[in-house]
Amino acid sequence: MAEEGKRSRVKVESILSVVSSNPTRPGKVHKLSLLDQSMGPHTIHIVFYYGSNPFSDGPMSSDLENFRVSLSDVLDEYPVVTGRLTRGPDGGGWQVKCNDAGVRVLQARVDATVDEWLRSADVDEERDLTVWEDMPLDPSFWSPFRIQVNNFKCGGLAIGLSCTHMHADITSATLLIKSWADYHSTQTLTYPPIFTLPTHTHPQNTTTPPPHSPTTNTTPPPTKMATVTMKFSGPAVEKCLSGARSQCPDATPFDVLVALLWSKIAHWQEPHTADDNKRSISICTDSRGNRGQKTKIPLGYFGNALSFSVLTVEADELSSGKLGQVCEYVHRHVVDRAGPGLVDGDGEDPVRVYGPQITCVSTEHLVDAEKNGEAIMYSAVFDNNNNNNKNNIKGEKPLHVSYSYGNVVGEGLIVVVPTAEVGPGRAVTVTLPEEQIDMLCKDQEILDLEGVMVISGGR
Amino acid sequence: MAPPPPPPEYSQSVKLKYVKLGYHYLINHFLLFLLLPITLSLTIEALRTTPQELQTLCNSIKLTLIHVISSLFLVIYISTYYIMSRPRPVYLVDHALFKPPASFRVSFAGFMEHARMAPFSEPRSVHFQMKILERSGLGEQTSLPPAIRYIPPSPNMNLAREEAELVIFTCMDSLIRKTGVEPKDVDILVLNCSLFSPTPSLTAMVVNKYGMRSNVKSFNLSGMGCSAGLISIDLAKDLLQHHPNSNAVVISTEILTPNSYMGKERAMLLPNCLFRMGGAAVLLSNRRSDRRRAKYRLAHVVRTHKGADDKSYRCVSQEEDSEGNVGIKLNIDLMAIAGEALKSNITTMGPLVLPASEQLLFALSFIGRKMINSKWKQYIPDFKQAFDHFCIHAGGRAVIDELQRSLRLTAEQVEASRMSLHRFGNTSSSSLWYELSYIESKGRMKRGDRVWQIAFGSGFKCNSAVWKCNRTVDPTAEDGGPWADCIDNYPVYIPEVVKL
């Protein structure tokens, strides 16, 4: 996708480490759960885009110093984030030695304004806004969390967080940035982190995870993948929802959008191994919050609380155009989740995380929790109320938040994320083989929804 | 028949203690004991003479008016000369210390990671730094400036200036707030910073920022090492003798940004492990109006320079290693040289501060060794008698251990030094002020207490100052000093080796 001779517009200027303000109790160790460890080599990358730099105004002389102050303070609450990975005492699972070694923070400059970037950059360029590093053989001196602060020409800012999936899932990583924003603004946390759960609610596996070591090579996918992000407005999604409500009264935007996309993609999908007439996708939901699940994992739990499961549906139903019916299957599947972990869909092949089928990631739980329906990631506002706020500028909400995954091998990935506007509007990031993306973008039904393309390379 | 058992140790030592006490009391109040009988006999004699005898005594002296007036003038002249030639008292009104922001903190694990990632590092030098850090006596809350926290460290002049501005201006603002001094009222400004000396100087930077007068006497001392703090105090003291009714601001700091050593020579890696950010500003005055509110009065400053001896001169030196990296090389015989310098210093200091009893014993044993029997052990005076508090430059754990041993100090007397080293690291010339602040924050500083500050520095120099506390310092009234938020956690047990 990169044009010939196209140079990256992002230039990293400096790297440093930031530690917490107060020392951690010596000897503290955090054991990663089984689910954490089964996340293997995957990595998470989140970028928060802001229209203005909230750190340019503050008690210290440079904005680097200003964000170090609030970041150090909030890291007091997250000793796991500043620790380092070591092998457990029995040589088995990974654990985190909370030794205050710190997180890496990079400062970079982007040769574009935020709007230009959102319009013209593609996923490959967006990679430059976060740090993409694989875990080395000896991770004792390697920082699993890396934050990159990117300054745009217009004064906008993009905060890029990347971390290993073993340490956190997208909810925890999002809440880390949200806590940072909370601390910066009000010095209190809306969702204080919890690192251990009572044993009966602890994420369990029903299948043994494949042991992850850094030497496991992930073979690159044979086909070239492309990614687009489409922002569907509230009314557009509402239209779909009303269409599906006849058969699925409790449909959520995730259900209906997955159903819509799946019905398009089904034509090109690989048939199910056992039965040519079936198609499957892997659905990834979060077990936190109050989704009426049996296990109550609080939203502030820091770690992995995802559940992966496979949904298989007759191919005819997908291509018949009965959106409501497919939506009902998806919805039923999501609601029936037993709890966090890997669960077999049909009791056949063991489930893997993020593959090999298309994986659909839901973040609906990040919308329900807020009272006024605002998504949590869009409430990460860096206010300067309690600092020397000379210009009295109120902090801004993020313009856009993007999520990507590293080392994910599979047929594709669909991530459904709320948008800045309150309501059913969603931004859907679709990763599929290049031709399928092209066809998807030309599909009439999709075009009817009038989605705005961001970070899609100017499509 | 068995010999009688020797008297038990306890009663022997008690007897000895009383003898010692009696001796000290006798010698220290010798003049009193001498004067008392003389005064008594004179009074008795005066009471016995009748007024007539007194009259005849006066007449026989044959005093004329001229004699009386001229002798009166003589007396007045002599007393005026005496009063005028006495040194002006120098008061320390207050001091302000730099408390680094929590985001500048350096953890052991973070330090070791950066050491590993440094461009010229090799496993041996990393291992060496780890060993040093484990035994250093530093804690996990010391601070380094941002330039050194970059990977790789990026010391440049801009960042050095920023660090200087942050440290010095914070101290000055705090000093102005605590003492109420107006920058336009400052007569003398002395600043010492050993390793960073830009043009215009750091004193010019202060004059510019605070709008000081055009005839302020400013002095910028650089290159004088960790003992430069007391050198600045000495300079300010001498200037205050010359200028009546004046005040002086003394700023002591060390700017670390330009001085991170980036090579692998082990003798030069030590300062990386031990030196941390810090700074202090002190207001001195010789005005009578400050007499009431001043915290301390400067009693003595003794400076000893051993630079004439080659070994002492070369023991701490800034040089380039074989790869061209500049660093400060510490020689292996540093502790021995420091011991020698200390001995010289206290030999000069002793007569000024020790009570007469100790001086007599020292003199007797000295004479005895020279004339009677050179095998007698030299009597080392007990400095604990002369001082109530000790501030030993927190150069490193070895320095404090060595001084504790040679001066026979108790653990409580070196507590201020050890805890300052733990909380702030080796902040070079300002470490003495952090230690003084610790003693004050603990509520131990009472009126009349005498404090001894000892500093060592490259050259090789040993400087010491004696302060007398002017008014009891109330720890709760301390305007957010550097120890305010953590004093209750101290003293902390510092293990010999911290396992990293």
The DSSP string of B103-142 is GGB--HHHHHHHHHHSTT--HHHHHHHHHHHHHS---TT-
Higher pLDDT, A65 or B78: B78
Determine the pLDDT at residue B380. 74
The model's confidence at residue B98, banded by pLDDT at 50, 70 and 90, is very high
CA distances for A430 relative to A123, A227, A426, B84, angstroms: 11, 5, 12, 91
The model's confidence at residue A282, banded by pLDDT at 50, 70 and 90, is confident
**Residues of B designated as active site:** 226, 305, 389, 393, 422, 426
Query: Would you mind telling me the total number of residues written for chain A in this entry?
Result: 459
Q: Is A149 on the interface with B (CB under 8 A)?
A: no
Start-end of H helices in A76-208: 114-120, 123-126, 170-186
The pTM score is 0.87
Start-end of H helices in B354-485: 356-367, 397-407, 415-424, 431-441
Residue of A nearest to B140 (CA): A23
> Is residue A260 over pLDDT 50?
yes
Asked if A99's CB is within 8 angstroms of B108's CB, the reply is yes
Residue where the block lists tokens 């990347």: A162
> Is residue B34 over pLDDT 70?
yes
Strands laid side by side in the A306-314 sheet = A341-342, A306-314, A278-286, A359-362, A413-418, A426-433, A225-232, A452-454
Q: Give Cα B237 distance to the centre of its chain.
A: 14
Instruction: Among A141, A147, A148, A184, pick the best mutation site for testing chain B contact (most B Cβ within 10 A).
Output: A141
Going by their DSSP bridges, the two strands B188-192 and B247-253 should be labelled as parallel
Residues of chain A with pLDDT > 70, as a percent, come to: 82
Q: What are the two backbone dihedrals, phi and then psi, of residue A325, each rounded to the nearest 5 degrees?
A: -65, -45
Least trusted range by pLDDT, from A19-23, A130-134, A380-384 = A380-384
Where b means 16+ CB within 10 Å and e means fewer, A266-299 reads: beebeebeeeeebbbbbbbbbbbbebebebebeb
> Is residue B92 over pLDDT 60?
yes
> Is residue A348 over pLDDT 50?
no
> Is residue A122 over pLDDT 70?
yes
Asked if B113's CB is within 8 angstroms of A16's CB, the reply is no
Asked if B162's CB is within 8 angstroms of A62's CB, the reply is yes
Least trusted range by pLDDT, from A65-69, A186-190, A340-344, B148-152 = A340-344
Mean pLDDT rounded to a whole number for chain A: 81
Cβ contacts of A21 on chain B, cutoff 8 Å: 102-103, 105
Kindly report the nearest CA distance between residue B321 and chain A, in angstroms. Answer: 26
Task: Give the CATH fold of the B91-348+388-470 domain.
Answer: Peroxisomal Thiolase; Chain A, domain 1 (3.40.47)
Segment A159-179 shows an average pLDDT of 92
The minimal CB distance from B150 to the residues A15, A19, A22 is found for A15
Mean pLDDT rounded to a whole number for chain B: 89
Cβ contacts of A141 on chain B, cutoff 8 Å: 112-113, 116-117
> Is residue A206 over pLDDT 50?
no
Kindly report the nearest CA distance between residue B143 and chain A, in angstroms. Answer: 11
The model's confidence at residue A207, banded by pLDDT at 50, 70 and 90, is very low
**CA atoms B73, B75, B77, B79: torsion sign:** negative
Asked if A99's CB is within 8 angstroms of B109's CB, the reply is yes
